[in-house]
Amino acid sequence: MMKWVSLAARIGLGLVALFFLIMSFDVFVMEDYSFGEQLAGWFINASPGILLGLLLWGLWRKPVYLGGAVLAYGTALMWFFHVFQNWPERAIVLFVVIVPLYLAGFVLLIDWHMKQSEKPGSENDLEPLTIKNNKTD
């Protein structure tokens, strides 16, 4: 079951990256700029989606690293987009971009933790600490 949830989280990350890429094509509507300037503007607007896609591609098989990177990326985007400065106007950024990133990051970390607990011998990893008193009176 968790395998499918983890796959859905990765697909969701791909959709968020695709959302960034599609939304960045609006720079080509601006007629006051040359094609080179429009292309540079597209690259600047598409860079969050490109970076997320590269993270997803490079860390696909490492859920703990991907989950941590996505949580850090979501935090950086929250700071970059000033989500809580103009709260009513920026709520859409929070719910469309940041919340899916956090959900996917936490799902990937939980998936990794569950895989670690299923490995043989993992129940002995957290043995209680015993303190030996070697003093003799």
Q: Tens digit of pLDDT for each residue in 97-117?
A: 889 999 999 999 998 888 888
- What does the pLDDT read at residue 130? 65
- Residues 6+ positions from 55 with CB-CB distance below 8 Å: 66, 69, 70, 73
Q: What phi and psi, each to the nearest 5 degrees, are found at residue 133?
A: -105, 110
Could you tell me the end-to-end alpha-carbon distance of the chain, in angstroms, rounded to an integer?
58
Q: What is the pLDDT of residues 52-109, one digit of tens each?
A: 999 999 999 899 999 999 999 999 988 888 877 877 788 888 888 889 999 999 999 9
**What predicted TM-score, i.e. pTM, was given to this entire model?**
0.77
Neighbours of 10 (CB within 10 A): 20
Please determine, for residue 127, whether its predicted confidence score (pLDDT) is greater than 60: no
pLDDT in tens, 22-39: 999 998 888 889 989 999
DSSP 3-state of 67 = helix
Q: What is the pLDDT of residues 4-26, one digit of tens each?
A: 888 999 999 999 999 999 999 99
Token output for 81: 């987009």
What is the C-alpha separation between 114 and 91, in angstroms, rounded?
Answer: 33
Distances (CA, A) of 136 to 50, 88, 131, 132, 133: 66, 69, 15, 12, 8
